[in-house]
Each structure stands twice: as C-alpha cells, then as structure tokens.
Structure 1
Amino acid sequence: MRLGVISDIHGNRVALAAVLADMPPVDGLVCAGDVVGYNPWHADCVDAMRGESEELPEGVPWPDEDVPTVMGNHDRAVVEDSPFAFNDMARAGVEHAREQLDEAQLDWLSGLPEERVECDGRVKLVHGHPDDPDHYTYPEEFGPELLDGEDVLVMGHTHRQHHEVYDEGVVLNPGSVGQPRDGDHRAAYAVLDLDELTVEDRRVEYDTDAVIAAVEDAGLPRQIGFRLTQGR
C-alpha cells in the first residue's frame, strides 16, 4: 500500500495542484494539518481535503473523498480564538481565512482531531508532536521514542522535509506543500510505501509568481508571497 503524505498546505492552491499532478499512483492520501493560513486560497484547499473541489485544473487528480487530516495550529486559530503566538503574516492569513470560509468549510475545519490513526493502526498523524500539537519537532529531535506502537508517525508544523527509518518504525515529516522553510522553494510531499516501510521525499516546482500576485491582490502582506521564492 502506498500513501501520498502532505502537510502545511497553507491556502496555496497553486502548490497543491502541482503536488497532486506530480504525485505517482497511490492508494490514498493523508494530511498532517494546516490546510489554511498565509496564502489566499483557504476555501479551495479546504474543499480539496473535503473531496468537494470544483473548477479544477485539467489533468490534476484532485481528491474525490474526504482526506484524513489532523488540525494544525492555523486551522485551530481560524475556528477558535487560539492564543498561539502569530506574527503579522500569520495573523493576516487567519483573518483572511475567517472571512473567506463558509459555514460548511468552517464546520469541517473545526471537526478535525489533533491526532488520528489510519491504515488499521499502522499510521499515526499529528501536527506538531505526539504529546504537544504546537511543538516544533525538528529533524534533530526525531527518534524511535516518538513512536507508540504505530509503524509510521507523520508530523508537520516545521515545514522541513525529513524522515528517519528505525527498527521500531518510521518518523516522517513530508515538508510543506504551500510554504517550505528548509531552503528549497519547491512544494514538498512524500510517498510512503507501507509494505516496504520506505519513504520517497519529493519536491515539485510551481508558479510562485502566480501566488505572489494573488497574495497582493488579496491585500495580504507582500512577504507572504516573496518568501515562497526562497523557501523560508
């Protein structure tokens, strides 16, 4: 069984379309949270994860059913008055998402759990850390002690693509679809082979200029778009 693993889409519909178009054949898709925030297409990205997308680019295999997804800190901030410390860019993205999302989209977002287990207990999804959804678990903190019986632990939040394979299982961060921060501007995702317990880290180019223009048209801080060219 092969899974496409994504995280931290952050309202970047252009990057998500590029990832889905680039993804090789998989048996399913999972998402480690932060569907919304920063970039201007919050509704489109929520609808994609709900399997409710419309007016799609030709040839892109958008999901046709609900994608197993956990709640990220930006998702939570949109549906709750979250105390998470945001900078001006993050705060602007949250406010923009609240204005854009309709009741059904907000209901879907508010129903996301902080943790979920998929594939008959073999894959656990969290956003930040198994014990703290807001903790940034960077690659140097990866270790087999993070696993708790599952074969694969999937985390997001840091926007840094990395995985480690241990005797006990796999710890994986697929990186960020919509706002990488590991020095590589390309959209990040991973393909997980559950039969072999292997991970293929993948990157794909996308039209960052189109996102920069949309960010400016939406009245969002220009730095949101500019940083996409630098992967930071």
Structure 2
Amino acid sequence: MESKQANVIGLISDIHGNLAALEAVLADMPDVDAVVNAGDVVGYGPWPAECVKRIRHPRSYSIMGNHDARLFWDEITDAGDAYAAEVLADEQKAWIKSLPDQRLLFDDRLKVVHGHPVDRFQYTYQPEFDETLLDAEDMLVLGHTHRQGSARVDGDRLVVNPGSVGQPRDKDPRASYAVINLEEMTISLERTSYDIDRVAEQIAETPIKERNATRLYQGR
C-alpha cells in the first residue's frame, strides 16, 4: 500500500523510448498531483535513457512492463531493447529492475498493472474491461495494448488504459494519455501531436529498425 494523497492524476503508459512524445504529453497535461506510469519506459524508441531520466520524479509512480523486463534476459533479441540495454546507465537499469509488477496507490484506491492483474503481460482489450479485473480498488489502470480506452464497471468503478505515449496502435498517431479525478471518479482521455520526424531522424542514427519509425506516422 502507498498512501500518499493525490486527487488529480495523470496516467501514461508505453513510453517506449520516445522522448519527443513524452515531452509533448507532459507539456499538454494539466496540473496534476501525481503521474502514474503503467510500464514500458524503454523499447522501440531512440531515447531510453532520456525517458528514464524524465519519468523519475518524487510524484511519479511506475511499474515494470514487458520491454523493461527484457533488459535483464540473458539474450535480448529485439534491436530496440538491445539498444536500451547498451545505452542505459547502470543505475538506470537498477531503477528499472527495482520496479514492481503492480502497485496499489492513494490509499489503495488505484491499482496499476501493465497487462492484466493476474498475468502481468497478458493483453487486455477494452471489450474485456469488466468487474472481474478489479479487487477492492476503485480504479484499475493498465497498458500494454497501446490502445486507449476506458469502461465504468460494477457501479462507479473504472478500468482505464491511457494508451501509448510513444507508439499508439489505434491508427491515431498522436501520443495518448489520460487524466483522472479520484474524488469525482471522472476520466478524460487525451491525445496530443508531437514531432514524429524528430523521432524518425533519431532512430536512423541507431541500430533500431526503421519500421519502428515508419509505424509512428500510421499509429500502428
């Protein structure tokens, strides 16, 4: 349990080393009491170290995603993950390794997982958002699918995926995030544009596959 109080909270997920998108989201986001990150700071994108540095903040709460976990495999097969493992400082890797699989925050009112409360890397899409996903918390936040959505279940409780900051996959190339109000139990799903050309140019300077740049223009 983590009981630090917060009312208005920014929700983000799946940053994937895309600093341009992260900066755009944080600039577009209204004043919030805290930011909750549902995992995958690294992978695919060209700025893993910069994104780790940017997201580490006393009022930011992160969990480990599947690409974060891959940094510690004996063999890393994805070029984006391998690049992250190469350029991250040792203390940044140690921070990622220390991240929990899930967190209960704000007097246990909000749970954050990456993919699913039982199987942390299981894809959970909006049609599956129902009361069976929740325990006693008022709100469940998850990511992993890179698709933004929310559902009000079991009365006034919420399941929400803020979408992907760094690699949306719902055919909308704009970076995704959400803002919630825990007192009023309201949610606003948000999108903001960012400089995709900047990301593509930076990817071209790395071993990361070009496809990870071209797909950004298509939101897929």
Output one character per residue of 1:109-152: Cα deviation in whole Å (capped at 9) or x when no partner: 00011011111100001000000011000111111111100000
Residue in structure 2 matching 1:221, options 196, 209, 214: 209
Q: Is the 8 A contact 2:116 2:123 kept in 1?
A: yes
**1:102 corresponds to which of 89, 92, 95:** 89
SS at match of 2:146: coil
In the alignment, is the contact (CA less than 8 A) between 1:79 and 1:109 conserved in 2? no
Confirm or deny that 1:135 pairs with 2:125. Answer: no
Is this contact kept in 1: 2:156–2:185, CA < 8 A? no
Q: Which residue of 2 aligns with 1:182?
A: 170
Counterpart check, 1:31 vs 2:23: no
Match of residue 49, structure 1, among 29, 50, 55: 55
* Amino acid in the other structure paired with 1:173: N
Equivalent in 170, 180, 191 of residue 203 of structure 1? 191
1:79 CA displacement: 2.4
Cα displacement (A) at 1:165: 1.2
Work out the CA distance in 2 between the residues paired with 1:133 and 1:145.
Answer: 15
Structure 2 unpaired stretches of 5+: 1-6
Q: CA deviation at 1:168?
A: 5.2
Distance 1:162 1:189 in 2: 10
Q: Does 1:74 align with 2:67?
A: yes
Corresponding letter in the other structure for 1:185: P
Equivalent residue number for residue 149 of structure 2: 162
Alpha carbons 1:147, 1:168 under 8 Å: kept: no
1:127/1:19 CA distance change after superposition, 3 Å = same
- Is 1:11 matched with 2:17? yes
Q: Report the secondary structure of 1:164's partner residue.
A: strand
Partners of 2:190 and 2:156 in 1: how far apart? 24
Task: Report the count of equivalent residues.
Answer: 213
Q: CA deviation at 1:81?
A: 3.7
> What is the percentage of aligned positions where both structures have the same residue?
50
The runs of at least 4 aligned residues of structure 1 exceeding 2 Å deviation read 79-83
- Mean alpha-carbon deviation: is it higher for 133-142 or for 12-21? 133-142
Work out whether 1:20 is the aligned partner of 2:23.
no
- For normalisation by structure 1, the TM-score amounts to 0.89
| 1:138 and 1:158 in contact (8 A); partners too | yes
Match of 2:4 in 1: none
Q: Which residue of 2 aligns with 1:57?
A: none
Which whole-Å CA distance do the structure 2 matches of 1:121 and 1:168 have between them? 16
Q: Partner amino acid for 1:79?
A: F
| Pairing partner for 1:212 from 200, 212, 216 | 200
Residue identity opposite 2:61 in structure 1: P
- For 1:173-202, what per-residue CA distance to the aligned partner results, in whole angstroms no more than 9, with x for missing partners? 000000000111000000011011111000
Amino acid at match of 2:51: C
* Secondary structure class of the residue paired with 2:143: coil
